[in-house]
Amino acid sequence: MTTATQRILGVDPGLTRCGFGLIDMAGNRTASFVDVGVAGTDAADPLDVRVLRIWEATERWIERYRPDALALERVFAQTNVNTVIGTAHASGAVIASAARHGVPVAWHTPSEVKAAVTGEGRADKASVARMVVRILQLDEAPRPADAADALAIAICHGWRGGGTGVDATARTETHQGARPLAAARSGMTPAQRAWAEAEHRAKRGGRR
């Protein structure tokens, strides 16, 4: 692996199903599929056992692939409180494993992931899965949906700059500021251009 390539482990946290998606993101923003899978636990098991199982699964992924970064979907408020709590428990197990191995952790909201991959922050799961297939040149969408979502999270992290010090919307180091949007559009996929334009508009709005 060259220094310009970052290995990213995306995680869609959950106690019943926790999705793991691993990609390599090249310096030119080309994403390559490495592996994908889902760890599951039984709802009838004690909570401590379920959390331990997710931690153990994360340990296996990190120890086998040694990712440069771990991208996690941020716990998002939902009407189902039990689902939110379960997601938070699973996220904690994943974060603890990453911290143990010194792997940097980043969080992305569901809308950020959807916008990065499809160009639309309100895209449905089917649209996200289709774009994951196209971006990674897969034969079919990984199943269940948690697996495809994990890959989407990893792609989002790579395209947004991740831990590489690169601003994906500007094609320059983030601490040096961003180049004009027009200069950044060359070489981008349609989804990347849509994401760049959305971020550009958001930044302009924040300066008013």
CATH number at residue 164: 3.30.420.10
The number of CA neighbours under 13 Å toward the Cβ of 45 is 13
Percent of the chain with pLDDT over 70: 74
Domain count of the fold of the chain: 1
Structural domain includes residue 123: yes
Structural domain includes residue 207: no
Structural domain includes residue 82: yes
Active-site entry in 24, 68, 112, 146: 146
Active-site entry in 24, 73, 112, 167: 73
Confidence of residue 208 (pLDDT cuts 50, 70, 90): very low
Structural domain includes residue 186: no
pLDDT of residue 75: 76
Rounded to the nearest angstrom, the gap between the alpha carbon of residue 20 and the centroid of all alpha carbons in its chain is 10
Domain that holds residue 133: 5-178
Query: Does 146 qualify as catalytic in the annotation?
Result: yes
Confidence of residue 165 (pLDDT cuts 50, 70, 90): very low
Binding site members: 12, 73, 146
What is the reported pTM?
0.77
Structural domain includes residue 111: yes
pLDDT of residue 163: 41
Which residues have CB under 8 Å from 75's CB, separation 6+? 13, 84, 87, 88, 91
74-97 pLDDT per residue, tens:
876 666 777 889 999 999 999 999
Q: Bigger pLDDT: 164 or 127?
A: 127
Structural domain includes residue 118: yes
Rounded to the nearest angstrom, the gap between the alpha carbon of residue 180 and the centroid of all alpha carbons in its chain is 26
Structural domain includes residue 39: yes
Structural domain includes residue 192: no
CB 96 within 8 A of CB 55: yes
Query: Does 73 qualify as catalytic in the annotation?
Result: yes
Taking the CA atoms of the chain, what radius of gyration do you get in angstroms?
Answer: 17
Binding site members for Mg(2+): 12, 73, 146
pLDDT of residue 83: 81
pLDDT at 166 over 70: no
